[in-house]
Amino acid sequence: MLTLRLYSERDARLEEIPEPELRPGTVKVKVAWAGICGSDLALFETAPVPLDYQNPIMQESGPHALGHEFSGYVSEVAEDVTSVQLGDLVAVRPNFADGTCPTCRAGHPNMCDNYAFIGINGGGGGFSESVVVPADHAYVLPQDFSAQAAALIEPLAVAWHAVKVAKIPTDGTAFVVGAGPIGLSVVLALRAQGVSRIIVSELSEARKQLARDFGAQLVIDPREADVVAAVREATGGRGVDVSFDASGIGKNTLQPAIDSLSAAGHAVILANFHGDVPLDVMPFLMREKVLTGSFAYTAEDFAEVRDAVVDGRIVPDALISSRIPLSEVLDAGFKHLLGEGRATEVKILVSPSS
């Protein structure tokens, strides 16, 4: 079967490899759609995992297949599996925890000391024709549900977890810095969790419009307005209860996220930053502001998002900006997103079966 595997920095190869084999407790998923994530681009550019390193859970050396946001149809079911049926449409939760480390035992499996991801450090990947996954990582959707929307459950779960971490009151105000796939997913997750006062800052016209369509009440262009002043004006001078840095640019995005907060407000980081960010820390003392991060999601988060897209509390389809076949994933996907596509695309979905 065709698969995309990462060898080293900017060296990912589309190759023919044998189909993965079913093991007890697993199902084989014929991938329908797989999204390209910002972290795929970072992996492609930096290849941080040495090929000979074996994650303790995956116990597999590289090169590893890429793709951790994917949906598909179940094509084989191990004899001992009852929770998933042949032909089911499923979204795959790609993250794994050992369940035994101190972090897992403290109730944080999303940050397991040995955490692993399908599509990063073993277990196959979504940019492949088929993937074998443990049955409890396959979240079943109604048969007539959109397989494209199902591929968006993974990035939505990242946003869903961040909104839970932020602990925002439903009558509170949220500020989202950056309306890329994750920032827009935060807007959708906020609405689905009952928060309607949402402010977004973003440069791209297309993304600004999507933020409005998804329910942001105010969208600020940082080239046209002082972001912090605009947020304060929109909140009667008080500031917001919660802010999210979903862009990860650096001080230019994180400082406004902090300066826009009310006293005791929470700023949540959910983007990858590359390098140090110098910050004025006095507001944390004088205003008891909190800066926290949000990493991945739990099995509970993933199931909650599956339920929210199925019952229509989240309608994420407009996040999809392009659809391409697996044969074009490098040029029309990765390299495009690292070039001119950065400004025009939101989520590119890849189909291994077209």
Residue ranges in contact with Zn ion by CB under 5 A: 97-98, 101, 104, 112
Complex with Zn ion: residue 105 or 274, whichever CB lies closer = 105
Q: Is residue 26 a contact partner of residue 133, using CB atoms and an 8 Å limit?
A: yes
Q: Is residue 103 a contact partner of residue 111, using CB atoms and an 8 Å limit?
A: yes
Helix axes 181-192, 153-166, angle to 10 degrees: 60
CA neighbor of 71 nearest in space, from 142, 189, 151: 151
Nearest-angstrom CA–CA distance, 287 and 226: 21
- Find the shortest distance in angstroms from Cβ 160 to Zn ion: 21
- Find the shortest distance in angstroms from Cβ 124 to Zn ion: 21
- Find the shortest distance in angstroms from Cβ 89 to Zn ion: 30
Nearest-angstrom CA–CA distance, 138 and 142: 13
- Find the shortest distance in angstroms from Cβ 110 to Zn ion: 10
Three-state DSSP at 148 gives: helix
Complex with Zn ion: residue 96 or 334, whichever CB lies closer = 96
Complex with Zn ion: residue 95 or 262, whichever CB lies closer = 95
Complex with Zn ion: residue 111 or 206, whichever CB lies closer = 111
- Find the shortest distance in angstroms from Cβ 297 to Zn ion: 15
End-to-end CA, the chain: 13
Complex with Zn ion: residue 137 or 197, whichever CB lies closer = 137
- Find the shortest distance in angstroms from Cβ 104 to Zn ion: 3
Complex with Zn ion: residue 97 or 187, whichever CB lies closer = 97
Element (H, E) at 162: helix 153-166
Complex with Zn ion: residue 104 or 348, whichever CB lies closer = 104
Radius of gyration over alpha carbons of the chain, in Å? 20
- Find the shortest distance in angstroms from Cβ 103 to Zn ion: 5
Give residue 260's region: left, alpha or beta (phi > 0; psi -120 to 50): alpha
Nearest-angstrom CA–CA distance, 194 and 6: 40
Angle at 118 between CA 93 and CA 291, to 5 degrees: 70
